[in-house]
Chain A
Amino acid sequence: MRDSQKLRLFLLVGLAVVALLLVVFGPAVLGRFSLNVLTRSMIYAMLALTVDLLWGYTGILTFGQAAFFGVGAYATAMVLMHIGASPSLLLLAFVAAIIVPVVLGLIVGWLSFYHGSTPLYATVISLVVPIVMTQIVFSGGVWTGSSSGLVGYDVLPLGLTGFFRLTGFCLLVLAVLAIVFVRSDAGRLLVAIRDNEARVAYLGINPARVKILLTATLAGVAGLAGFLYANASGVVAPENTGFVFGTEIVVWTALGGRGTIIGPVLGAIGIDYLSASLSGDLPFLWQLVIGGLFVVMIIVLPGGLASLVTRHFPRGKGQQSLKAMPTTADANGTDRREDVFVSIENLGKSYGSLAVLKGINLDIRPGELVSIVGPNGAGKTTMMRCLSDGTEPIEGTVTINGHNIAGLAPEGVVSLGVGRKFQVASIFDTMTVAECLRMARLRHVTPSFTRSETEIALPGPAAEILQLTGIAEIMDRPVSLLSHGQRQALELAMVVALEPKLILLDEPTAGLTKAERTTIGTVLKTLTAKLGFAAILVEHDLDFVRDISSRIVVLHHGKLVLDGTVEDVIHSEIVRTIYSGGAHV
């Protein structure tokens, strides 16, 4: 592991040095043609890099980067053409080329990402944006030069080699920044969103906001590329903003190898340079070949050409060590145990004409472990959803910590102190244990944008779960290699690491061994009885429920039919008849 990690680092640094040498000494050996083409290819590579961050890392397939690029290029050209090209105006053009795309990126982000929007929808929007932009350019008359584009304005006085070095330098800086960022703790959040957006929201982070910020930032980067392009080429044209160009960037990224930064950069440079040299000879065939290659690659080799290389370098991570934060027994205010933390009033929920929950009233206080039992279809999981996602349309009100949660997205509910563990362990499938846990701490610990910490500090109870289940020993293991029980325990540790005041648990012991079940039960008891957490547990295993609950609620046909102590419920007639399948209460 360590050796391969060193090798990786060595290779990356080596690559950067070689790239720097090429940028500095390239003009001495390359001909005019190559310099010219490579300058443009490197600008395109910046765009491929932004598409990689959006698509490869965050899972947002976008055709829209062309629009931001074009807007940046047009902002530059329009300032230089219609106002002038003095040094201060060049600066103005530079600022405009970044600010305008950023603002547009915010608008597009707002349109594309909200609680409940689908990735497909965002992709279609990203297709519409360049088409609308191109239309605006066409109808811009003399301002945008319409179909002919703008040409003949003064540009940065750099010359061919100057532009080559400037773009090469910009690309290198961007690539290094991107590589450092995606390997940092903050950068892993992008992957977390790609892997499991719902989990990110239930860790209290607003994924839509992250995506909007990312879109806006990368729109700015695309704008910068546009600024360089408008200067280096001396011309801007509608096709620079078009969706055909947008799809080309995606093709380069896919062929180069998404999710590797270097792959897309080399893919863009390679394919663009090759097409400049070849397409004159075989115009239609060239597109046919690229198109065919693209389809085959997506199906057979989704990781692109880069995956042929990276598969020999498994991702090595430094040894991660776990540190338990000191626990204060009063963290959840044991002295306020009489205050109601969750108050459910007259809760009802229907899907169409089918009423799943009807008139539920329930109060839960800190330190209580309330189990919800009832046969399949009683509405237990639905109730959990209504407690953790305020955007679900419901009747009645759910008040948590004094706030009505109506309209609050999951991350908003989390910030009120609610952690939710799902029935099927919801974790980040391409990450390691330590990375998953770090994501759970992002609400409390501002992550580094440049490095990946080697130590992870968790609240005492979360650390305890990991130690009891042995996961603390395998912090560097990819979660895809964990057993079913370990996954459940990890998710529970992540939820506890949020430092919630209320934990919602949906069948946390399903499929676990007896020993694992006992461990989880012990942990839950400690959390509630000793540390003052409140917990709501949906469970089928009545023995388990009896062992750990402080209170049991029985749901049947969407109605709350019983609410009492363990003794009350276990011995009640109603429960017996429900579970024997006869009752119609």
Chain B
Amino acid sequence: MTLLLDIISTAAILFIVAAGLLAIFGVLKIINFAHGAWLTVGAYCAVVTTELGLNPWFALPLAFILGALLGGLTERFIVRPLYRRPLDAILATWGLGIVIGQLITLWFGRDVHFTTALMQGTVDVLGTSYSFYRLFAVLAALAIGLGFAFLLDGTRLGLSAQAVIMNEALARALGIDTEKVRLATFMAGAGLAALAGVLLAPMTSVDPNMGVPWLTGAFMLVMVAGTSFGALAVACLLFGAAQVVVSTFLSPILGGITVAVLCAITLRIRPKWFARA
């Protein structure tokens, strides 16, 4: 039972972390290397909320808005000029990640920060006591997933984004303002990453480099999932399960690289497997 809960909640956390990255990858076809920095910015929003003595839940909207704003600036001034040089765009976002990390360090110092917990304690699930917050993470992941499903299928912007994901040239020919779609997507992706940072804060330490350990797993999951949120959810469940199983029965050290290595092998052998699923 614990194993099952571990798997589901691990998958949920992976999904929360990777969702913003996937949104950007789907529309702009670039991996945002500053993703770790957005996570960190989000977590520091929680720190600020705590320091100001505000309700910890307030950090969620704050992070989303701040992330979206920064994302908008990044898209406009860094990503857009590099539209035709995608590898350079990646590098530039990486450089931006360094800059944000150093700025946070200068401002808040390198020390580990602490935030007010959103919720504490354990609950009994069918006779097993389990961390309440991890179960909440599952709900959060579901909310994000469903939210995106609604955004994509139920709104004009979402439909435009879908068109851009499938065929950008055609979408532009159809009169869709692809530039606007890209900007909106980047903002949403960055906002979501910052949101993920807030959600991670109670489980991890908050320090300037907190985003880094999450990067590789998220990158590889997104590469595997391609452009579909459904595929991402499946990938998170499968590879998250693999991580938990390897950690539990083999070694947690191997578990730490399970996601990245399995994703790489999957991509090499069955590159289109998940995209089709």
Inter-chain contact B253/A124, CB cutoff 8 Å = no
Given contacts A116-B271, A288-B103, contact A294 B98 (CB under 8 A): yes
Inter-chain contact A131/B216, CB cutoff 8 Å = yes
Task: Give Cα distance in the complex from A111 to B90, angstroms.
Answer: 21
Interface set, chain A 490-538, CB cutoff 8 A to B: none
Inter-chain contact A135/B253, CB cutoff 8 Å = yes
Q: Is A139 an interface residue (CB 8 A)?
A: yes
Task: Give Cα distance in the complex from A189 to B270, angstroms.
Answer: 29
Chain B neighbourhood of A224, CB < 8 A: none
Question: A438 CB to closest chain B CB, in angstroms?
Answer: 26
Binding-face segment, A84-92, A295-303, A332-340, A560-568: A295-303
Q: Is A235 an interface residue (CB 8 A)?
A: no
Question: B244 CB to closest chain A CB, in angstroms?
Answer: 18
Task: Give Cα distance in the complex from A481 to B119, angstroms.
Answer: 65
Inter-chain contact B257/A247, CB cutoff 8 Å = no
Q: Is B82 an interface residue (CB 8 A)?
A: yes
Inter-chain contact B253/A117, CB cutoff 8 Å = no
Q: Contact string, A122-148, partner B, CB cutoff 8 A, digits 1/0?
A: 011101100110010011000000000
Q: Is A110 an interface residue (CB 8 A)?
A: yes
Q: Is A75 an interface residue (CB 8 A)?
A: no
- Chain B: CB-nearest residue to A136: B257
Q: Contact string, B46-76, partner A, CB cutoff 8 A, digits 1/0?
A: 0000000000000000000000000000000
Residue in B90, B95, B257, B271 whose beta carbon sits within 8 Å of that of A120 in the complex = B90
Residue in A110, A123, A135, A298 whose beta carbon sits within 8 Å of that of B256 in the complex = A135
Chain B neighbourhood of A135, CB < 8 A: 253, 256-257
Q: Is B117 an interface residue (CB 8 A)?
A: no
- Chain A: CB-nearest residue to B268: A111
Inter-chain contact A128/B264, CB cutoff 8 Å = yes
- Chain A: CB-nearest residue to B110: A284
Inter-chain contact A61/B96, CB cutoff 8 Å = no
Q: Is B163 an interface residue (CB 8 A)?
A: no
Chain A neighbourhood of B103, CB < 8 A: 288
Task: Give Cα distance in the complex from A123 to B98, angstroms.
Answer: 18
Q: Is B88 an interface residue (CB 8 A)?
A: yes
Inter-chain contact B31/A124, CB cutoff 8 Å = yes
Q: Is A254 an interface residue (CB 8 A)?
A: yes
Chain B neighbourhood of A285, CB < 8 A: 102, 106
- Chain A: CB-nearest residue to B30: A120
Given contacts A120-B86, A291-B99, contact A254 B268 (CB under 8 A): no
Inter-chain contact B102/A125, CB cutoff 8 Å = no
Chain B neighbourhood of A291, CB < 8 A: 95-96, 98-99, 102
Chain A: interface size category: 35 or more
Inter-chain contact B102/A284, CB cutoff 8 Å = yes
Q: Contact string, B75-105, partner A, CB cutoff 8 A, digits 1/0?
A: 0001001100111101110111011001101
Residue in A61, A114, A251 whose beta carbon sits within 8 Å of that of B90 in the complex = A61
Chain B: interface size category: 35 or more
Chain A neighbourhood of B265, CB < 8 A: 111
Inter-chain contact A287/B90, CB cutoff 8 Å = no
Given contacts A123-B90, A292-B99, A295-B92, contact A131 B220 (CB under 8 A): no
Inter-chain contact B91/A254, CB cutoff 8 Å = yes
Q: Contact string, B236-277, partner A, CB cutoff 8 A, digits 1/0?
A: 000000000000000001001100110011011001000000
Task: Give Cα distance in the complex from A139 to B94, angstroms.
Answer: 28
Q: Is B219 an interface residue (CB 8 A)?
A: yes
Inter-chain contact B264/A298, CB cutoff 8 Å = no
Inter-chain contact B102/A299, CB cutoff 8 Å = no
Inter-chain contact A131/B260, CB cutoff 8 Å = yes
Chain A neighbourhood of B92, CB < 8 A: 295, 298-299
Given contacts A59-B87, A132-B257, A135-B256, contact A298 B82 (CB under 8 A): yes
Task: Give Cα distance in the complex from A403 to B103, angstroms.
Answer: 61
Given contacts A61-B91, A250-B91, contact A120 B31 (CB under 8 A): yes
Question: B246 CB to closest chain A CB, in angstroms?
Answer: 13
Q: Is A10 an interface residue (CB 8 A)?
A: no
Inter-chain contact A132/B260, CB cutoff 8 Å = yes
Question: B132 CB to closest chain A CB, in angstroms?
Answer: 31
Question: B174 CB to closest chain A CB, in angstroms?
Answer: 16
Main secondary structure of the interface of A (DSSP, over half): helix
Inter-chain contact A299/B78, CB cutoff 8 Å = yes
Interface set, chain B 205-243, CB cutoff 8 A to A: 215-216, 219-220, 223
Task: Give Cα distance in the complex from A555 to B223, angstroms.
Answer: 38
Task: Give Cα distance in the complex from A292 to B106, angstroms.
Answer: 14
- Chain B: CB-nearest residue to A115: B271
Q: Is A313 an interface residue (CB 8 A)?
A: no
Chain B neighbourhood of A290, CB < 8 A: 98
Q: Is A26 an interface residue (CB 8 A)?
A: no
Task: Give Cα distance in the complex from A111 to B260, angstroms.
Answer: 12
Inter-chain contact B95/A295, CB cutoff 8 Å = yes
Task: Give Cα distance in the complex from A127 to B99, angstroms.
Answer: 19
Given contacts A125-B264, A127-B216, A128-B216, contact A294 B95 (CB under 8 A): yes
- Chain A: CB-nearest residue to B251: A139
Chain B neighbourhood of A375, CB < 8 A: none
Residue in B88, B94, B106, B267 whose beta carbon sits within 8 Å of that of A121 in the complex = B267
Task: Give Cα distance in the complex from A123 to B29, angstroms.
Answer: 14
Q: Is A27 an interface residue (CB 8 A)?
A: no
Inter-chain contact A247/B94, CB cutoff 8 Å = yes
Question: B29 CB to closest chain A CB, in angstroms?
Answer: 8
Q: Is A270 an interface residue (CB 8 A)?
A: no
Inter-chain contact B223/A287, CB cutoff 8 Å = no
Inter-chain contact B30/A295, CB cutoff 8 Å = no
Question: B169 CB to closest chain A CB, in angstroms?
Answer: 13
Question: A576 CB to closest chain B CB, in angstroms?
Answer: 30
Q: Is A359 an interface residue (CB 8 A)?
A: no
Given contacts A119-B87, A120-B86, contact A295 B102 (CB under 8 A): no
- Chain A: CB-nearest residue to B209: A244
- Chain B: CB-nearest residue to A120: B31
Question: A271 CB to closest chain B CB, in angstroms?
Answer: 14
Chain B neighbourhood of A131, CB < 8 A: 216, 257, 260
Task: Give Cα distance in the complex from A114 to B272, angstroms.
Answer: 13
Chain B neighbourhood of A128, CB < 8 A: 216, 219-220, 260-261, 264
Chain A neighbourhood of B215, CB < 8 A: 127
Question: B68 CB to closest chain A CB, in angstroms?
Answer: 20
Question: B267 CB to closest chain A CB, in angstroms?
Answer: 7
Inter-chain contact B102/A117, CB cutoff 8 Å = no
Inter-chain contact B260/A288, CB cutoff 8 Å = no
Inter-chain contact B99/A295, CB cutoff 8 Å = yes
Interface set, chain A 258-310, CB cutoff 8 A to B: 284-285, 287-288, 290-292, 294-295, 298-299, 302
Interface set, chain B 125-151, CB cutoff 8 A to A: none
Chain B neighbourhood of A117, CB < 8 A: 271
Question: B270 CB to closest chain A CB, in angstroms?
Answer: 12
Given contacts A247-B94, A291-B99, A298-B92, contact A123 B264 (CB under 8 A): no
Please give the residue numbers on chain B whose beta carbons come within 8 Å of chain A beta carbons, in ascending order: 29-31, 78, 81-82, 85-88, 90-92, 94-96, 98-99, 102-103, 105-106, 215-216, 219-220, 223, 253, 256-257, 260-261, 264-265, 267-268, 271
A-B residue pairs in contact (CB < 8 Å), sample of 6: A120-B90, A124-B31, A127-B215, A132-B257, A135-B257, A298-B91
Please give the residue numbers on chain A whose beta carbons come within 8 Å of chain B beta carbons, in ascending order: 59, 61, 110-111, 114, 116-117, 119-121, 123-125, 127-128, 131-132, 135, 138-139, 247, 250-251, 254, 284-285, 287-288, 290-292, 294-295, 298-299, 302
New A-B pairs, 6, CB < 8 Å, besides A111-B265, A111-B268, A298-B91: A124-B31, A127-B216, A127-B219, A291-B95, A292-B95, A292-B99
Query: What 8 A-B pairs come out closest when comparing CB atoms?
Result: A291-B98, A295-B95, A288-B102, A294-B95, A291-B99, A298-B92, A61-B87, A128-B260
